[in-house]
Amino acid sequence: MNAISKSEDRRVAPAAASQPVIVRAEGLTKQVSTPDHELVIVNGATFAVGAGESVAIVGASGSGKSTLLGLLAGLDVPSSGRVWIDGEDLFALDEDGRARLRGRLVGFVFQSFQLLPALTALENVMLPLELAGQGDAASRAAGVLGQVGLADRVGHYPRQLSGGEQQRVAVARAFATEPKLLFADEPTGNLDSATGAQVIELLFGMNRDRGTTLVLVTHDEALAARCDRRIAISAGVVAA
């Protein structure tokens, strides 16, 4: 894995000061060792995402879509290359620094919901607000749950909610801190078509109404077509 010196912390990505760019990848590569060979999952990806854009990452199963998204979010570390979020060099930060940056700027929606089972819907949505040190977390979380149609489910635990309701809690959690950037990884993969359509409307509504940049991984061509543009990945190679 590449080593980036601490002296490069908070370096500004090229052209970030003159362009409304919120995410920039440069030479982004991820490879892993297998018993037989080195497997390259993402190979030299270079592209930029403008603030307020909606962008679909598309490709066949196993093409590297989710790995690319994880690298862009700093949830995974590249073998080489760099990512800037809002002008900040993501991998010039340590793990705690990346977590703080995500807490300030980024929301996530995953296919598997990733709710904490011991917390109610309200408490799950409160969590990022509390971690960010924002006041009145309970009131704000309740308000966001109301916006996604769950005002009457705030005290329910994930096991007491349907799959669609759990995903709406996950969307509310992602929206709660009003992030500049929202990453979504197959957000409707575990939902029926009607419920999935409701979740997608919530995501695009945030993009449209609040100017939140939306970057989503999908295999759904109709969903990809709704985005401003697509980034295609095939065998780890990106065509932006």
- For residue 129, give the CATH number of its domain: 3.40.50.300
Token pair 């109610």 is at which residue?
A: 120
What is the number of domains present in the chain?
Answer: 1
209 within domain boundaries? yes
4 within domain boundaries? no
Q: Are 126 and 138 in contact (CB under 8 A)?
A: yes
pLDDT of amino acid 55? 96
Closest C-alpha to 211, from 16, 51, 102, 17: 51
User: What does the alpha-carbon distance between residue 82 and residue 88 come to, in Å, rounded to a whole number?
Assistant: 10
13 within domain boundaries? no
Closest C-alpha to 171, from 136, 135, 138, 207: 207
Segments forming the whole domain that contains residue 57:
20-90+97-239
200 within domain boundaries? yes
DSSP at 18: T
Question: CB-based contacts of 224: which residues, under 8 Å, 6+ apart?
Answer: 56, 58, 218, 230
pLDDT of amino acid 239? 85
Residue 19's SS3 state is coil
14 within domain boundaries? no
pLDDT of amino acid 210? 87
5 within domain boundaries? no
Tell me the mean pLDDT per 10 residues along the chain, length 240. Answer: 36 46 96 88 95 94 92 95 96 94 90 92 95 88 93 97 92 91 89 85 89 93 92 89
User: What does the alpha-carbon distance between residue 179 and residue 24 come to, in Å, rounded to a whole number?
Assistant: 17
User: What does the alpha-carbon distance between residue 65 and residue 15 come to, in Å, rounded to a whole number?
Assistant: 26
Q: Is 131 exposed, middle or buried (0-12, 13-18, 19+ CB in 10 A)?
A: middle
pLDDT of amino acid 240? 67
Q: Are 169 and 150 in contact (CB under 8 A)?
A: yes
Question: CB-based contacts of 29: which residues, under 8 Å, 6+ apart?
Answer: 40, 42, 43, 44, 45, 78, 79, 80, 81
232 within domain boundaries? yes
67 within domain boundaries? yes
